[in-house]
Structure 1
């Protein structure tokens, strides 16, 4: 089956033999304590870091055998932090997401403009398209960077803490968007800190000390024994609407 696969990834840093696959049409949430290697794994799967061992396959071919432009058409990555093009207008930033699709002369066409419009709307960033990126709040900036990733119209979307800096309303909007994108056939892999957001994904994987500790449906992974081992004995899990709801006791 086509997909994005990490096979036996060892290094850099904390990773110790990680196997993880992302299939088209699913949202996979990656949880784990700080320092467990979540962001590193995402960078390896995006082709930004080379592992010391193992390999990443993109639609059946080693990731590094895809050209940079070919990889950019299939795979988009949203990091946690900058640097950012502070002096560009929001619309210009989002248009950068179309670079892998442009021809030799970099000429934009109707399809590029339509992709940019769709991405701005989907990420909730249309209202400030004419502002400089450097004038935006952290939450607004996060939505613009998400729009830039979406503008590529990728098949696979890797997001490192996409709800960072967002208020509750916009966190909910991003979570709903990830569900919608996976319903459109995209494979979405997101690093998250909130297990209640992860409970809305199709699958959850838990990384600890560089290894996959558990992987499966949220109701099978987000259970008290596992979460208490990660976050402490005060963690409790209840069922809310058929999904696990995680909270702290006292």
Structure 2
């Protein structure tokens, strides 16, 4: 309930200024594609505590797309102050492995996770001729929608044991450095460098399982990424109220 209230409050703080500005100033609505690199840091497991893949981290690619809106709320001496909200569906994949060179045994785990990214930013933009640049920062809601795991083993007896996974919802921090090219009076091509940090990812293997009881009953592994570094390219339409 508390998490839902926080998310609702954040959404209201961004959507209300967007709605107000839509009555007075141009609003940018956009469609965009995104691709990036996601990383789940190795767990910090004390001696004797359970671990997975000898404490490996997981890294891979994420890609997807979505919609967004942006509106200027004030004109400052350093540039235009704006608020922005994006709705991005991203399919993440991350791989980790452990091996023994002496025996040739290895085990690889691939996590796949679909996540809705809701970055809600406040930023400053400035313009130089036909190119403008932006910097924004704000909370980013990460809605886990579905997860799976795939396990591959080499030179190990028997079939791999299944690893249950579960999606999670966290509130992270997002930042964007963006560049805009004015293609026409109403069309803008934005290119954004994005960083998302999720401080809620558990730091130990035991905590990453949702209900760890024992090695035989670990529960489901909560798939989330500490970092997501991405590039997005879009097409914005400038809605004018005249």
TM-score normalised per structure 1? 0.19
More helix by share: 1
Relative contact order: is structure 1 or structure 2 higher (C-alpha 8 Å, sep ≥ 6)? 1
TM-score normalised per structure 2? 0.20
